[in-house]
Structure 1
C-alpha cells in the first residue's frame, strides 16, 4: 500500500506538476492545517479516499477585511463527517475525520488525534492534561481491536508531534506527552504528524521511538507499506 501524507503547506509539486501523478497513492492522509480546496483537489487528482485530522489553523474563516470570522465556524459544527470533535471543514467535504476514531483501511488500522498545544484558547488546542484525557478515551476500543486483530492500531495520525520528538521549545509547537504513552502501550508501526515546519533540509523527518517510526509529514511524504 502507498500512502500520500500531507500537512501544513500547499506543495507546488503536488499541486502543479504532472510528474506527481506518478505517485499513485492508495490513500491520502492529511495531518492538518491545509485548505479544504487543496485536499479536495488531491482526492480528485488521485481518485482515492482521504483521512484527516484538523490542525490549530483549520476552520479559521476570514472576513472581507482579512480578520478571523469566528461566526462562520458555528455553521459547520454538525458535519456528517465530524465523528467526535466539535468542528469540521464543511458539510460537503468528502474527507473522513479520524479524530479519536479507529478506522480500518485495507489491512491497516488508523487512529487520529487533532490539534496542538493550547496557546490562545483557539479551536483545536489542548493542554497536556486535556490531550491525555482524549488519548485515554480510546484505550478501551484499542484493547478490543487488539483482541480482534492482534494489535490495537497500526498508524496513528496527529497534527502535533509527540513531546520531545520533532517539536520546538515554544508553547505553540510543544509536543504532547500523551502520544508517547499511547506509543509505549500499543506500539503502532507509525505515527504521522505535521505542525512543525521544516526550513532546513538537514532536519530529521523520521525518528524511531521503540518499535514506532515517527514521521514529520510537513509538505508531503510518500509512505510505502
Structure 2
C-alpha cells in the first residue's frame, strides 16, 4: 500500500503544478497537521482516496472550516484495509492557542485510547503532529516532543510513527526517516511516500 504523508508545507508539486499522474498509485493520504484545509480538500477531491488528518498547532481555522471530505483521526483509531491507525495531534503547550497540550494532557488523551487499542489488538501506525521527546524534536518548548509518544512505541511497537512540526528549514540536522525500537519514524514535512505492507 502506498501512503502519501504530508505536513506543514503545502507542496507546490501538487498544489501549484498538479497533474493526474502525480497521485497515481497512492492508496491513502495522511496529514500530520498544519496544512490549509483547502489543500486537504483539493487532494481528496483529485486523488479519490481517503485523506486522514490530525490537527497541528496552527490549525485553529479547522474549527470553522474543516477540510471537506476528509477524516479526522484525532483521539481515535481508524482502520483502513486492516491497518490500525491512531491519531494524537497537537503540539506542546506554549501559549493559549488551540491544539496545544502539556505532557500530562497528552498522556491523558492517550490513556483514553487504551481500551480501543486493546479491542483492536494493537496499532500499526501512530500519527501525530509533534515528534517524540529527544527523537529529532526541537530544543525550544514549541517544538519539544512528547515523552508519551516514546512510551506508546515502547509498549505497542507500531510499524510506523508519522509526524510533522519540525520543518526541513529549521535545522541542518533534519531527518526524514529514523528508527526507534523497531518503529520506523517518518517526518512528513511537505511530502513523502511510504510503502506499507498490507495486512490480510
**TM-score higher than 0.5:** yes
Q: Is the contact between residue 166 and residue 205 of structure 1 (CA under 8 Å) also seen in structure 2?
A: no
Q: Secondary structure at the match of 1:137?
A: helix
CA RMSD of aligned residues (A): 1.8
**For residues 62-101 of structure 1, what are the structure 2 equivalents within 5 Å?**
73=63, 76=64, 89-90=65-66, 93-101=68-76
**Residue 6 of structure 1 corresponds to which residue in structure 2?**
6
Q: Secondary structure at the match of 1:37?
A: helix
Among residues 180, 188, 192, which one is paired with 1:209 in the alignment?
180
Q: Is the contact between residue 4 and residue 29 of structure 2 (CA under 8 Å) also seen in structure 1?
A: yes
Are residues 1:221 and 2:192 paired? yes
**For residues 33-72 of structure 1, what are the structure 2 equivalents within 5 Å?**
33-60=34-61
**Residue 86 of structure 1 corresponds to which residue in structure 2?**
none
Q: Secondary structure at the match of 1:208?
A: strand
Return the offset for 1:203. 2.7
After TM superposition, the runs of 4+ consecutive aligned structure 1 residues lying more than 3 A away are none
Return the offset for 1:19. 7.4
Q: Is the contact between residue 155 and residue 189 of structure 1 (CA under 8 Å) also seen in structure 2?
A: yes
Q: Is the contact between residue 21 and residue 46 of structure 1 (CA under 8 Å) also seen in structure 2?
A: no
Instruction: Name the structure, 1 or 2, with higher relative contact order (CA <8 Å, separation 6+).
Output: 2
**For residues 144-159 of structure 1, what are the structure 2 equivalents within 5 Å?**
144-146=119-121, 152-159=122-129
**For residues 97-112 of structure 1, what are the structure 2 equivalents within 5 Å?**
97-112=72-87
Are residues 1:118 and 2:93 paired? yes
**Residue 107 of structure 2 corresponds to which residue in structure 1?**
132
Return the offset for 1:18. 2.5
Structure of greater Rg: 1
1:155-203 Cα shifts (integer Å, max 9, x gaps): 0110001011121000100000010111111110001000111126763
Are residues 1:171 and 2:171 paired? no
**Residue 32 of structure 2 corresponds to which residue in structure 1?**
31
**Residue 68 of structure 1 corresponds to which residue in structure 2?**
none
Return the offset for 1:135. 1.1
Runs (5+) with no aligned partner, structure 2: none
- Structure-1-length-normalised TM-score: 0.81
Cα distance in 2 for partners of 1:19, 1:26 equals 14
Runs (5+) with no aligned partner, structure 1: 62-72, 77-88, 147-151
Return the offset for 1:59. 2.1
Cα distance in 2 for partners of 1:221, 1:208 equals 16
